[in-house]
A and B are shown apart, each in its own frame.
Chain A
Amino acid sequence: MKKLESPDELVKFRKSLESKYRSDKIRVLICTTGCRALGAEEVFKAFKAEIKKLSLEDKVEIVDTGCQGLCARAPVLTIEPMGIFYGRVTEADVTEIVSRTILKGEVIERLCYTDAGKRIPYVRDIPFYSKQEKIVLRNCGEIDPKNIHEYIVRDGYAALSKVLSDMTPDDVILEMKNSGLRGRGGAGFPTGNKWEFVKKAAGDIKYIICNGDEGDPGAFMDRAVLEGDPHTVIEGMLIGAYAIGARKGIIYVRAEYPIAVEHLKIAIEQAKTLGLLGENILGFQFSFDLEIKMGAGAFVCGEETALIASIEGKRGMPRPRPPFPATNGLWGKPTNINNVETFANVPVIILKGSEFYKAIGTETSKGTKIFALAGNVKNTGLVEVPMGTTLREIVFDIGGGIPGRKKFKAAQMGGPSGGCVPAQHLDLSIDYETVKEVGAIMGSGGLIVMDDSASMVEIARYFMEFCQDESCGKCVPCRIGTKRMLDILTRITKGEGKKEDIDLLRELAEVTKTASLCGLGQTAANPVLSTIRYYINEYEELINKKSFQTSPQQSSVQQP
């Protein structure tokens, strides 16, 4: 493949690909990332073999994709252009799918999604999909992430081309500011403003970092984006690099995500071959290099200064800010750090414009948000909805409600930094501000549904154990505060609680929150405070009755 030397060449190249991809071919899209755990690779191989056996290669294409969202039905596949969705597919089903569905257009009922006893064969009719709005996940599960051509044919790198041809770095920053995009890593800082700080910072060498250190238990959206559509993250980083004036970027990924690392490596290689990474991109003066760094297993490295320390080869401990990484980051140079999902929004904003983007969402929170829906809910999986969607819509309409005739008790949002949202707030419109008001945080977007069998004190203890274990120990409030809170919570769940414990927990929580050095400590008390706020009766009951039996062995949490 020869390098693309100008925006025109990219357009021509896309056109040449279109004839290949917009043919009448039937495409069988099989998730081989998350669904791998339940045998998706075997299903993929069986399809390939069957198509070859019947010499159908000209008519049928078998594509291994990233996550298609509805993980509860894994392994899943979609057959295009009909839009038929099958779940829990095994190797044994493959011959029948080819002979009946692909060759005759018949629907195989037993593989269809069911809703209240009714079988729904088409993707567009399944409530799980029809109530979502996909911006970040627009390609995820629909393209082969290992093939840059599939990304390019879906307008891939068109945003980069537009930025380089028609926009100054200031135009890009203005567009980002107008769009209202806020950081999807959790804190929600306006992305355009962050870029502006780094652009204005003094210095010739600047860095741009993608934070893919998704350490929250119960969150897997960054993993899905990196695995299912790595080029969109790379393109977002390229646009960011152009805006702030960086020549070098680093993607920091959890080592526990081997498929994400593999797909990123392939994507970077392919982008380099086409001249979309490296020197004089698309023939412009702009040059940019990208490398992958693997994390080594430390939750605190999600915090930006700790992440920088880790890239520098040190223990991943945070340092006080200011100075912020925007002026004093990697190797002391101005550095911009954004999360995976944030970067994945960028190409869409550039291509469709900030006005389009701004129209989605609420007054203060624009665009969509991906949630990793898990726990006691029927349709576990990956969900992308406009900001402002209610919790009820996510849990009941998209998630299909609580299985086993149980009742909704709480939704735990934002992982160990978040909180529990009780049933009375089910109609809460989810955006950064309202979620914070009720004591949780958006966080990275983990959303764990709990039914009425969950003990909220135990949940608080569980998260505190995680935070205590993952505290780097540098600052005293976090190191000792989390330890003390864990001791008290453990005591209460063992039935050895004292009357004064609740007040003591509140006091410790406030101090840890106020005095800790970084986000880990500042938010570690959230699960405690939110459970005390909404479920104080459970604390009191345990303390008064002293009869609660916790699980036989106290669990402990460690990173691999």
Chain B
Amino acid sequence: MQKNVTLNKESSPSVDLAQCRSILSNYSSVTHADLIPILQLIQDAYGYLPQDVLIEISAKTRIPLSKIYGVVTFYSQFYLEPRGKYTIKVCTGTACHIKGAPEIKKKISDVLQIQEGETTPDYKFTYTPVACLGTCFLAPVMMIDGRYYGKLTVEKTEAILKGY
């Protein structure tokens, strides 16, 4: 669950703050309870949570940046790094686990040459295992963006990935 946080200006690409400002302008006054919904909206807009945006949120909401980072790094839904064009979510729920999810995960790593939680250098794929997709009848299953791929085998997984 822990994420690495780098507060290095040079490594973070510069972002346009207009979208962030427009989202924040919908709130006349922001309470602490609005923080997570705001972060969710902003991540939807940017695809991740750029550092400059977090600084902007802190300035506008007067919630200390340290608190914001505390929340962002606690919840697995928030990302501090840009994501690939496609997100591959591999279900690691119990049913998938006993039906071969570990082999599927290894195959994805092999084909994409990245580890869990990483993004391919060409920003095509981001690969994350998830706790449960709630579709146990498809086990083992993965989801690429909105699309489910169920009853996977190692061969099928490779073919699906190469089709993207």
Contacts and interface: CB of A to CB of B under 8 A. Distances in A.
Interface of A: 34, 36-38, 71-72, 74, 214-220, 223, 255-257, 293-299, 310-317, 372, 374-376, 380-381, 412, 415, 446, 448, 450, 454, 459, 462-463, 466, 469-470, 472, 551-560
Given A215-B131, A256-B133, A298-B76, 15 more contacts: A38-B150, A216-B132, A217-B97, A218-B95, A219-B134, A220-B134, A295-B77, A298-B1, A315-B70, A375-B99, A553-B105, A557-B131, A559-B1, A559-B76, A560-B130
A448 B94 contact: yes
Contacts of B40: 255, 294, 296
A218 B93 CA distance: 6
A295 B39 CA distance: 12
B153 interface: no
B9 interface: no
Contacts of A448: 94-95, 98, 136
A469 B130 CA distance: 12
B106 interface: yes
A218 B138 CA distance: 12
Contacts of B134: 34, 214, 219-220, 223, 256-257
17 contacts: A37-B135, A219-B132, A256-B133, A296-B76, A298-B74, A299-B131, A313-B36, A375-B99, A375-B139, A448-B98, A470-B1, A470-B131, A557-B129, A558-B1, A558-B76, A558-B128, A559-B1
Contact of A551 (B102, B132, B150): B102
Interface of B: 1, 31-37, 39-40, 70-71, 74-78, 89, 92-95, 97-99, 101-103, 105-106, 109, 116-117, 128-139, 141, 148, 150
Nearest to B96: A217
A312 B136 contact: no
A557 B102 contact: no
A219 to B, nearest CB: 7
A255 B116 CA distance: 21
A555 B31 contact: no
A388 B116 CA distance: 42
Contacts of A310: 36
A71 B137 contact: yes
Contacts of B92: 217, 555-558
Contact of B75 (A218, A220, A256, A298): A298
Contacts of A558: 1, 76, 92, 116-117, 128-131
A551 B94 contact: no
Contacts of A556: 92, 116, 129
Nearest to A469: B1
Contact of A316 (B75, B78, B94, B98): B75
Q: Return the 8 tightest CB-CB contacts between A and B, nearest first.
A: A374-B136, A296-B75, A559-B76, A217-B93, A71-B137, A37-B148, A297-B77, A220-B134
Q: Which of A219, A257, A313, A554 has the most CB of B within 10 A?
A: A313
Contacts of B89: 560
A316 B74 contact: yes
Nearest to B73: A315
Contact of B35 (A215, A313, A472): A313
A277 B36 CA distance: 25
Contacts of B94: 217-218, 374-375, 412, 415, 446, 448, 459, 462-463
A370 to B, nearest CB: 13
Nearest to A450: B98
Contact of B138 (A37, A472, A552): A37
Contacts of A375: 94-95, 98-99, 136, 139
A372 B109 CA distance: 30
A462 B76 CA distance: 19
Given A219-B132, A555-B92, A560-B89, A313 B31 contact: yes
Contact of A311 (B33, B78, B101, B132): B33
B103 A551 contact: yes
A34 B136 CA distance: 10
Contacts of A299: 131
A455 B96 CA distance: 14
Contacts of B102: 551-555
Contacts of B135: 34, 37, 71, 220
Contacts of A316: 74-75
A412 B136 CA distance: 14
Contacts of A463: 94
Contacts of A223: 134
Contact of A256 (B103, B109, B130): B130
B71 A314 contact: yes
Contacts of B148: 36-38
A71 to B, nearest CB: 4
